[in-house]
Amino acid sequence: MVLAGLPGAGKTTLLGKLDAPVPVTVLDSDQVREWIQARVSLPYRTYRVFVHLIHRFRVFWHALFSPGLLVVHEPSTRPGTRAMLLVIGLVSLRPRHFLWLDASAAEALDGQIARHRLIRAHSFERHVRRADVMRDRFVAGWKPFGWGSVSLLTRSGTSGGLRLDLAS
């Protein structure tokens, strides 16, 4: 299961309120960033690429070797990222579910500011352009190739947390 959306949309916050009837492995790049940050005193920009490489390696590793439900935090606005996640799901023989946490650019920017984790302006603008297209396609009923389901979530609709019902 992939929880996707704009950087700052509230994915990490929502995963902190996750409720599921089975054990869940949650993989968020913030876990890697915090682990590295506790060990080096360098600005994040100097090791950002390593955070994302390690995060993706962890996703692949856990998809292959961890039992039970796997929830991956990833913006997924890039087609290449969605393709990588699809391939990992196919190789690991896991069902693939895509949750899109919808947030406006202003809400996501506010979220970044609140967490003191602003991404570069040009990078954020690219995410916003791709997210706007994805949102419109999701509303029209689009499901990315290879994904079993897509759920469009709203910030207000998930303010109490996220309950995963695996029976449906």
DSSP symbols for 40-92: --S-HHHHHHHHHHHHHHHHHHHHHH--SEEEEE----SHHHHHHHHHHHHHT
Distance (Å, rounded) from C-alpha 110 to C-alpha 108? 5
> Residue 168: what pLDDT?
47
What residue segments make up the domains of the chain, in order of their start? 2-29+56-158
- The residue ranges of DSSP E strands in 89-141, in sequence order, are 97-102
Provide the whole-model pTM: 0.89
The pLDDT, as a whole number, for residue 166 is: 67
DSSP state of 12: H
pLDDT at 167: 58
Query: Domain spanning 2-29+56-158: which CATH class is it, in words?
Result: alpha beta
3-state helix, strand, coil in the chain (%, to 5): 45, 15, 35
Helix (H, G, I), strand (E, B) or coil at 34: helix
Query: How do the pLDDT tens digits run along the chain, 168 residues long?
Result: 999 999 999 998 898 888 888 889 999 999 999 999 999 999 988 999 999 999 999 999 999 999 989 999 998 888 899 999 999 999 999 999 999 999 999 999 999 999 888 888 999 999 999 999 999 999 999 998 899 999 999 888 888 888 887 654
Structure tokens at 73: 């935090």
Q: Look at residue 118 in the predicted model and tell me its pLDDT.
A: 86
Q: What pLDDT is attached to residue 141? A: 92
